[in-house]
Every structure is written in C-alpha cells, then in structure tokens.
Amino acid sequence: MDVKIEASWKAVLNDEFNKPYFQQIPLHLKTEKEQGKKIFPPGSQIFNAFNTTSFDHVKVVILGQDPYHGPGQANGLCFSVSYGIPQPPSLMNIFKELHDDIGVPIPNHGNLTHWAEQGVFLLNASLTVRNGEPMSHSKIGWAGFTDTVIKMISDQKKHVVFLLWGKFAQEKRMLIDEGKHLILRAAHPSPLSAHAGFFGCKHFSKTNEYLVAHGIDPIDWRL
C-alpha cells in the first residue's frame, strides 16, 4: 500500500507500512465499501493528522479513541470537525475548559486545524470508523499502527506533552517514557464524565508552562 503521508512521517513509519497487518487495512476498508458501507473520514483525510502535523514538529499529542461516526463530522483530526459542522458535545466541553483555564474565547466552529499546524498532533487510535458504529474499526489493525506511532514519538523525541483524557487514552501511558516527556491525565471531556475531573484540569496552561520551561514555543490555543 502506497500511503500518501508527509515526508518526515514516511521516513519514521516506512517499515510499518510494509508489515502484513498494515497491508490488510486497505483490503478491509475496500471490502466494506464494496458491501455498501459508509466509512469516515473520507479517504483523503484518513492521514490528515500526520499531514497537518509533521513528525519533526510534534510538541503535544492529544489522543482520541476513533473518528466521529456521523456523516460529515470526521476530518482526520481527533475531536475536530470541519467548518459548518456543529460542535460535538465533547468538543464543546474542551472549549469550556480552555476558556476557564486561560480565558480563550469559545469559538463559533470546531475546526482544530490551527492547533495541528502548531504541533498539536490530534491522533485517533483508530483512523477510520463505519457510519453510526463507534469502535467498528478498532480491531482491523489501526491500534497496532497508532501504538507504534505513539512509541516512535516517545522514543525519538523529547519534551512532548501527552494529554490523555479518559480511561482508553490513559492505557497508552505504558508506551510513553515519562522520564523525558510530560503526561497529563484527566477524565474524558464527554458529557458523561467531564465533571469527574476534566473540568478544572488546566491542561492547556500546564502544557504551555512545560513547553516554555523547555525552551519550546507555546501553543496559541485561540481558534
């Protein structure tokens, strides 16, 4: 499979693309499409997180579970939606915490591309999903691939901030070297759990404090 992906990621992940498990992923997606199933995001956006934030520029990693499973929502950046799409509830809670933490005005859209362009790597553990079926592609090989991505970032970079929201994301902690990176953990921003520790976590200000302390430009969180 020839993956169209930004050059610095291609260099880091080239061996992974040639492994048998990865070669099965496009076959699986092709079969489902032939069966008439709708898959999100569109093919051109599956690797959007990688193509918007190069490996060389990763400063912060936010980990999601899988893409939004409603029509038009997923755009390849976790928690993000394209312009004109209503903000999903988890994203609204992220913006609320951002406002309470550092006073950033709550935006009238949900497109997080501006964060990604500054080095916030918005990675979903699964890069695709079937329409209306959350976690439907969690077992087709994506998890092994994105675990490798997280480990590569941990092994080959230093002073990256990992924001792990919710139990699923926090299970990835074992892939990260806490000796040279900052891991910030909180409840998931979903309305079901945001009041159990996401609100008040101050992850946005803590991220910038850590980056500045290590001589790295902070993130402009305004959208």
Averaged pLDDT of the chain:
96
Tell me the C-alpha distance between 1 and 111, whole Å.
29
pLDDT at 1 over 80: no
Identity at 172, one-letter amino acid code: K
pLDDT at 111 over 90: yes
Please compute Rg for the chain using Cα positions.
17
Per annotation, catalytic residue among 15, 66, 155, 217: 66
- Record the pTM: 0.97
Per-residue pLDDT reduced to its tens digit, 170-194: 999 999 999 999 999 999 999 999 9
Looking only at the bridges linking them, the beta strands covering 161-165 and 182-186 are parallel
State residue 98's pLDDT score: 98
State residue 209's pLDDT score: 98
Mean pLDDT, range 131-154, rounded to an integer: 97
Identify the H or E element spanning 89. Answer: helix 89-102
- Binning pLDDT at 50, 70 and 90, where does residue 2 land? low
Tell me the C-alpha distance between 59 and 144, whole Å.
22
Q: What is the DSSP string of 114-155?
A: HHHHTTEEEEESSS-EETTBTTTTTTTTHHHHHHHHHHHHHH
Q: Give catalytic status of residue 220 as yes or no.
A: no
Per-residue pLDDT reduced to its tens digit, 61-78: 999 999 999 999 999 999
Looking only at the bridges linking them, the beta strands covering 129-130 and 39-40 are antiparallel
